[in-house]
A and B are shown apart, each in its own frame.
Chain A
Amino acid sequence: MNSFKPVKKPRLDIDRESLIIDVRRQLDMPSRRLFGQRILTLGGLAMMTGCTLVDDKSVDTFLTRISRMNDTVQGWLFDPNRLAPTYTEAQITRPFPFNAFYDVDQAPEVDGNSFRLKVSGLVQNKNVWTLPDLYALPKTEQITRHICVEGWSAIGRWGGTPFSEFLKRVGADTSAKYVGFKCADDYYESIDMPTALHPQTLLTFTYDGQQLPAKYGYPMKLRMPTKLGYKNPKHIMEIFVTNKFPGGYWVDQGYNWFGGS
């Protein structure tokens, strides 16, 4: 390469040469050098998230704000006529997994005979509903995929009545923003009105052709194949329509409210 025999590989020579230039420049410009150091330190700080950033209250507030912004974006993305895929009976996941914030043997036992569904908020008809009243509503069935926020999914078969039909019967103000649920297991949840009116949103009383067992939410579960599992309340005791954001059991702990798929 040069007239003399290189002791080291040419690549290293070039690097050393440029390094000398860099070093000379950096010594000339202490402020820029400091700036470069700070940039590198910023990367180091970011890696220490475990002990600083995550526990920071302002970061938490910021992330919650973004999550609420994501609710709005998901509202835009939601197509009220787009149907979730349906499956055949052979594709049903057996056994269908139990999932709740408690163990399966702690699932609440609701007495069907004395059960009365309360309806409140922005509705015209606030009469309570007995189970026979509810069972008399128009029936439909669907085999859809339940997608858990954790990532797993399972296909199940639910039967009940279109929720939009139920909302019509109670004279719900469908221009209201939210429909909320209070459950026998102290769970609570709320959904947006467009999802409540979606044709696949069912108030379900059966699972796989049988009366909904306690582990799957007796006496009823709101089943929405357009939302993640935690958005589907079980053991519903009260349904209310409101414009005041009701939150939800997991949502209040940090899960995204819209939770749509």
Chain B
Amino acid sequence: MSTTILHQRGPIIQPFWVRLTHWLNALAVVLMLMSGWRIYDASPVFKGFMISTKITLGGWLGGALQWHFAAMWLLFFNGLFYLAMNIITGRIKTKFFPLTPLAVLRDLGEALKGHLSHADPSKYNAVQKFAYLFVMLDITVLILSGLAIWKSVQFHILRDLFGGYDFARIVHFGAMSLIAAFIVVHLVMVTLVPRSLLTMIRGR
């Protein structure tokens, strides 16, 4: 019984704002992916490669665009809040750094052999640090390339940065594919370490 009480009063590993922004981000990303796939199908970047409409959102191009351009606000402002809080609280420094390529490779090797420890959920291993920083960067690229496509005239610097309107679409698709791959790995890891799901829900 004493362990139970001790556990209940244990330190908060994921503060409330991290959990809130995580789930809001998850919702926004799923909506953006599913509606984005329907928009993609209207004029595939890669001829011949279509995405099954069964897993898309919006019903038709107009509906998908409405979802996409509504969920983008959630993705944008939630992401902005998340990054700002990470910087203000210093979490970005303590949680994600130091990080070296060697440590990532080492921990990746350990993970593939099934030896990687998640014993202390308050600390990310190097693969986790890399994966979460990568996904932050990837969402940033998604938002910026999306803005370049949406407003190729007004945001001309972004348009040029992504190599013009047509190439920005390829970048947007590439970044989407990477986040889809991240989600697959992320969900596999959650099933392997179910405690991490509880931590992301109640903080401990």
Q: Which residues of A contact B (CB under 8 A)?
A: 9-11, 14-15, 18-19, 21-22, 24-25, 28, 32, 36, 39, 46, 49-50, 54, 62-64, 66-67, 70, 74, 77-79, 82-85, 145, 147-153, 225-226, 250, 253-256, 260-261
CA distance A202 to B43 in the complex (A): 27
Instruction: Please pick, from B39, B58, B59, B165, the residue contacting A147 in the complex, using a CB distance under 8 A.
Output: B165
Given known contacts A150-B43, A151-B40, what 9 new A-B pairs fall within 8 Å (CB)? A10-B117, A21-B3, A25-B8, A49-B34, A67-B70, A77-B154, A149-B42, A254-B60, A260-B153
B39 & A46 in contact (Cβ 8 Å cutoff) = no
| Residues of chain B with a CB closer than 8 A to A54's CB | 57-59, 63
CA distance A252 to B44 in the complex (A): 25
Q: Is B62 located at the chain interface by the 8 A CB criterion?
A: yes
B166 & A153 in contact (Cβ 8 Å cutoff) = yes
B62 & A25 in contact (Cβ 8 Å cutoff) = no
B4 & A149 in contact (Cβ 8 Å cutoff) = no
Tell me, rounded to whole Å, the shortest Cβ–Cβ distance linking B22 to chain A.
12
CA distance A15 to B117 in the complex (A): 10
Known: A39-B201, A150-B42, A151-B39. A250 touches B117 (CB 8 A): no
B169 & A151 in contact (Cβ 8 Å cutoff) = yes
Tell me, rounded to whole Å, the shortest Cβ–Cβ distance linking A85 to chain B.
8
| Residues of chain A with a CB closer than 8 A to B34's CB | 49
CA distance A181 to B149 in the complex (A): 27
Tell me, rounded to whole Å, the shortest Cβ–Cβ distance linking A56 to chain B.
12
| Residues of chain A with a CB closer than 8 A to B54's CB | 50
Tell me, rounded to whole Å, the shortest Cβ–Cβ distance linking B111 to chain A.
11
Q: Is B181 located at the chain interface by the 8 A CB criterion?
A: no
A66 & B153 in contact (Cβ 8 Å cutoff) = no
CA distance A260 to B149 in the complex (A): 11
B154 & A256 in contact (Cβ 8 Å cutoff) = no
**Most chain B CB inside 10 Å of its own CB: which residue of A74, A147, A152, A254:** A254
Q: Which residues of B contact A (CB under 8 A)?
A: 3-4, 7-8, 27, 30, 34, 39-40, 42-43, 45, 54, 57-63, 65-67, 69-70, 73, 114-119, 149-154, 156, 165-166, 169, 193-195, 198, 201-202
A65 closest partner in B (C-beta): B70
B153 & A82 in contact (Cβ 8 Å cutoff) = yes
| Residues of chain A with a CB closer than 8 A to B194's CB | 15, 19
| Residues of chain B with a CB closer than 8 A to A261's CB | 150-154
Known: A54-B57, A66-B73. A260 touches B119 (CB 8 A): no
CA distance A243 to B24 in the complex (A): 39
B169 closest partner in A (C-beta): A151
**Most chain B CB inside 10 Å of its own CB: which residue of A64, A70, A83, A250:** A70
Instruction: Please pick, from A24, A63, A147, A148, the residue contacting B66 in the complex, using a CB distance under 8 A.
Output: A63
A256 & B73 in contact (Cβ 8 Å cutoff) = no
A260 & B195 in contact (Cβ 8 Å cutoff) = no
CA distance A85 to B156 in the complex (A): 9
Instruction: Please pick, from B8, B154, B201, the residue contacting A82 in the complex, using a CB distance under 8 A.
Output: B154
Instruction: Please pick, from A36, A49, A79, A254, the residue contacting B154 in the complex, using a CB distance under 8 A.
Output: A79
CA distance A261 to B159 in the complex (A): 11
Instruction: Please pick, from B57, B70, B154, the residue contacting A78 in the complex, using a CB distance under 8 A.
Output: B154
Tell me, rounded to whole Å, the shortest Cβ–Cβ distance linking A90 to chain B.
16
Tell me, rounded to whole Å, the shortest Cβ–Cβ distance linking B71 to chain A.
9
A19 & B195 in contact (Cβ 8 Å cutoff) = yes
| Residues of chain B with a CB closer than 8 A to A18's CB | 195
